[in-house]
Amino acid sequence: MKKIVIIAIILATCFISNSCTKDFLKERPVDEIYANNLLVNYSGFYSMISAQRGLMRNEHGRFSATAISPNSVFNGGSDLYFGNQRISTATWWNWPKLITQFTDGVVFKEIFDQMYTIINVSNMIINRAENDPEVDWEGGSVERNEKNKTSIIAQAKFFRAWAYRHLTYCFGDVPLSLEEITGSNYRTDWDRDPIELVRQAMIEDFQYCIDNLDWRVDGNNTKPNQAIARTYLAETYLAIDQVDKAIDVLKPLCEGNQFSLMTTRFGSNAGNPGNSFIDVFRSPLYTDGNNEVLYSFLNAEEESIPYGTTGRCEVRNMFKNYYSYLTEVSTLSHPDYEGKTIDLFWSLNGGKGATRLAVPIGAWRLYEWDNQQDNDIRYDEYTVVKKLYFLDSKNEVFEILNKDGESPIALVPTAAMFATSEGTIKNYFLPSTRKWDNLHSNFERASTDYCFQNVAYMRLSEPYFLYAEALHKSGDNEGAATWINKIRSRAQVSNVTSSDITMDFILDERARELLCEGQRRHTLIRVSQANGGDEREVDNFFKRRIREINEVCGQVEGGTSMLGTTTVSHGAELYDTPVLFPIPKIFIDSNTKIKIKQNEGYPTY
């Protein structure tokens, strides 16, 4: 028995001894980068800013869950665009009132998630840059160090305010988060902060950019800079009805000589038939000689850049029409291109489109103002698809014609546009923009969804329109006309006079100039909310213009269309139809400590 006791003690001793295991169990990952070992010097901070630029470019990228881009969601279902494919995740692009069914919609969730991802990255950068005295700013001198630091902080602030800009136009009041969040202080008790508070933070961030960033950063227009920050700051002032401040902010940009509209042919496209307007899109970089673009996204053909680096976006896919589905096109064949007629067709016509969004006939007719449609270089065949081409058996290019000997592309209203059922609209004969055309060198990729060229994100026209709008609101229609006429002159159309200037005219001119650019819904929401306006009001700019211009989304019960009486309401005349997006249901569900209030018009628990 004694022996057993002794043995038991020996065994137990083995068990208790806990020799130096603490070190053995410590984790030391060697292959990963962590914030703590990345954000120690300027290069580390710079790589986070690089990631932010990539995240920003994703406005033209594809959602993970559906083949549309955030940018198309910022435009679809406004006065200028309807869904030309029945994208099940965005049926409100044709039927504005159907948006109420999408509180769990993946696109709203992803927009919400993407914007807060950017905001969190900014918060981390700003917090660490401002509070960590150990950072090596790699400037070599106190002064250069300080400049590197403020440049990083300013760019981070730009991205943060840029994300809040999208959030406020999409969702209205949103939680304002300005602090770095860790696994120990994350929250499930967020609440929506008043939009005024969020905009105040945006104003401070944009102002910091203006104070600390050059007109062009690192000699190009591919990084956050003072020009784009001024534009957004002015827009934010206009959103809160501070017209004078908007004028002050824009004056140095519009009246200075840093930027100018391109009025002569230039860049890589200069030798091709075309005009100076389309050249702006073919060569958007300042280093290409482009003086007009404030901010451009970089892209590249993927075979030529390292793997794991994406150099593409889908902007063309969203706006260019799906012409290969036209009967005149889908019956074409060519003996040398068996099984590849689609590649051949698209390589001859500027790359494939999928018309997630089509421009309604009503919007194309805006070009007819003052009978300038034949002069307007923004509406000629170099800027807008009006003809389609293919190769004959001698490999010579010919124009595709329909059975009447005309181009299949035309502004023809069809019954499908006014169909009462939820069926798909397939208006593949409508014109569409060539701003995002792609002349990709790899024939096998002629029908790719992606575009690999640099993309102009903001052009000088945007601050000009904001300047004109601010001057108009301050009573200076003369001044407003000046800036509108700068844009019209370059487009080679007639000048307007101060008496022509109205808010609707500015919105019309914006449509003509910025078709398939920018975020039309944001603009309409902003001008509708001006002076305390309710964005759901049935006669505000948003809903009234849908009814006036967009023959698909704007159908009302008993209204008239190009084909006669419409019988079914798509909701643009109803106060109940929301204009802001729904707060994503998953956010409401996961924010368990505080019950988030849903936007008006949407179902709630």
Partner 1 sequence: MKRRLFLFLTYMLCFTLSAFAQKTITGVVLDGAANNEPMLGVAIVIKGTSVSTQTDFDGKFSISVKDGDILIFSFLGYSTREVIVEGDAPLAVVLEQDATLLDDIIVVGYGVQKKSDVTGAVASLNKDVLEKRPAPNLVTALQGSIPGLKIELYGSDAEGSKSSTVIRGSNSINAGNAPLIILDGAPYYFSWSELNPDDIESIEVLKDASSAAIYGSRGANGVILITTKKGQSDKARVNYHGYMTVLDVYELPKMMDGDTFYYYKNEAVGDFTLTERNTFLSKNYVDWVGLALRTGLNHYHTISVSGKTKVNNYFVSFIASDNQGIAKGNDFTKYSGRINFEQDIGKWVKFSTNTQINFVDRSGHHVDFQSAYYMNPLAQAYNSDGSLRLQTWEASTDVANPLAELNVVNSNLRRTIMTNNSLDVKFPIDGLLYRLSTNVQFDSRDENTYYGRDTYTGARNNGLLEIYDSYSSKWLVENILSYTKTFGKHSLFLTALYSAQHQTRETNTIEGSGFGSDVLTYWQPDKATALTAKTSEWTKTHVSQMLRANYSYDSRYLMTLTVRNDGYSGFGEDRKYGLFPSVALGWNVVNEPFLKGTKMQNLFNQLKLRVSYGINGNEAIDPYATLPRLSTRNYLGDDYSSEFGYYPTKLESPLLGWEKTASLNVGIDYGMLDNRISGTLDVYDARTSDLLLVKTIPSINGASSIWENIGKTHSYGVEFGLHSINISKKDFTWSTNFIIYANRTKLVDVGLYDENGNPVDDVASGYFLGWPTNCYYDYVFDGIWQIGEVDSNTPLHSQPGYVRYKDLDGDGDITPEKDQMVVGSREAKFDASLTNTFTYKNLSLSVYMIGRYGSLTPNFFVNSHTESYRINLYHRAFWSETYPINEYPSNTRDASSNPKRVRFYRSADFIKIKDVTLSYRLPNKVIQPLRLSKLEVYANMKNLFTFTNWVGLDPEFVGSSSRQRSIPQTRQYTLGLKVSF
Site for partner 1 in 8-37 (CB under 8 A): 8, 10-12, 14-18, 21, 24-35
Q: State the Cα–Cα distance between residues 251 and 244, nearest whole angstrom.
A: 11
Residues 286-305 that bind partner 1 (CB under 8 A): 287, 298-300, 302-305
Let me know: does 78 contact 550? Beta carbons within 8 Å: yes
Selected binder of partner 1 within 330, 375, 492, 498 (CB under 8 A): 330
Selected binder of partner 1 within 60, 157, 230, 352 (CB under 8 A): 352
352 vs 526 by CB, closer to partner 1 = 352
494 vs 591 by CB, closer to partner 1 = 591
Cβ-based burial of 93 (10 A; exposed 0-12, middle 13-18, buried ≥19): buried
Residues 493-532 that bind partner 1 (CB under 8 A): none
Determine, following the binding rule CB under 8 A, whether residue 190 of this chain makes contact with partner 1.
Answer: yes
In this chain, which stretch among 83-91, 131-139, 493-501, 509-517 interacts with partner 1, using CB under 8 A?
Answer: 83-91
CB of 480 to partner 1, least distance (A): 36
194 vs 423 by CB, closer to partner 1 = 423
Determine, following the binding rule CB under 8 A, whether residue 311 of this chain makes contact with partner 1.
Answer: yes
Determine, following the binding rule CB under 8 A, whether residue 104 of this chain makes contact with partner 1.
Answer: yes
258 vs 337 by CB, closer to partner 1 = 337
Cβ-based burial of 337 (10 A; exposed 0-12, middle 13-18, buried ≥19): middle
Residues 424-463 that bind partner 1 (CB under 8 A): 424, 426, 442, 444-445, 447-449
From the list 390, 386, 391, 426, the residue with the least C-alpha distance to 406 is 386
Q: Which residues pair with 41 in a beta bridge?
A: 136
Q: State the Cα–Cα distance between residues 361 and 264, nearest whole angstrom.
A: 30
Q: State the Cα–Cα distance between residues 504 and 501, nearest whole angstrom.
A: 8
Residues 355-414 that bind partner 1 (CB under 8 A): none
Let me know: does 128 contact 153? Beta carbons within 8 Å: no
CB of 175 to partner 1, least distance (A): 5
CB of 527 to partner 1, least distance (A): 28
Selected binder of partner 1 within 331, 393, 395, 499 (CB under 8 A): 331
Selected binder of partner 1 within 41, 411, 586, 601 (CB under 8 A): 586
* 371, two tokens: 């009978």
From the list 166, 197, 188, the residue with the least C-alpha distance to 178 is 197
In this chain, which stretch among 69-77, 116-124, 384-392, 396-404 interacts with partner 1, using CB under 8 A?
Answer: 116-124
CB of 556 to partner 1, least distance (A): 16
CB of 303 to partner 1, least distance (A): 4
CA distances from 426 to 72, 175, 387, 551 (A): 18, 40, 18, 14
Residue 540: φ, ψ to 5° = -80, 180
Let me know: does 594 contact 190? Beta carbons within 8 Å: yes
Q: State the Cα–Cα distance between residues 461 and 488, nearest whole angstrom.
A: 10
In this chain, which stretch among 150-158, 332-340, 375-383, 461-469 interacts with partner 1, using CB under 8 A?
Answer: 332-340
Selected binder of partner 1 within 69, 212, 324, 482 (CB under 8 A): 324
Selected binder of partner 1 within 2, 4, 64, 396 (CB under 8 A): 4
In this chain, which stretch among 70-78, 186-194, 482-490, 524-532 interacts with partner 1, using CB under 8 A?
Answer: 186-194
Residue type, 361: I
How many binding residues for partner 1 (CB under 8 A)?
117
Determine, following the binding rule CB under 8 A, whether residue 175 of this chain makes contact with partner 1.
Answer: yes
Residue 144: φ, ψ to 5° = -65, -40
In this chain, which stretch among 75-83, 256-264, 336-344, 473-481 interacts with partner 1, using CB under 8 A?
Answer: 336-344
Q: State the Cα–Cα distance between residues 521 and 581, nearest whole angstrom.
A: 11
Q: Which helix (H) or strand (E) holds 135?
A: none
Let me know: does 19 contact 259? Beta carbons within 8 Å: no
Selected binder of partner 1 within 79, 173, 205, 343 (CB under 8 A): 343
131 vs 184 by CB, closer to partner 1 = 184
In this chain, which stretch among 338-346, 388-396, 400-408, 494-502 interacts with partner 1, using CB under 8 A?
Answer: 338-346
Determine, following the binding rule CB under 8 A, whether residue 309 of this chain makes contact with partner 1.
Answer: yes
Query: How would you classify the pairing of strands 560-561 and 455-459?
Result: unpaired
Cβ-count burial 240-267 (b if 16+ within 10 Å, e if not): bebbebbbebbeebbeeeebebbeeebb
Cβ-count burial 563-597 (b if 16+ within 10 Å, e if not): eeebeebbbbbbeebbbbbbbbbebbeebeeeebe
Determine, following the binding rule CB under 8 A, whether residue 57 of this chain makes contact with partner 1.
Answer: yes
273 vs 306 by CB, closer to partner 1 = 306
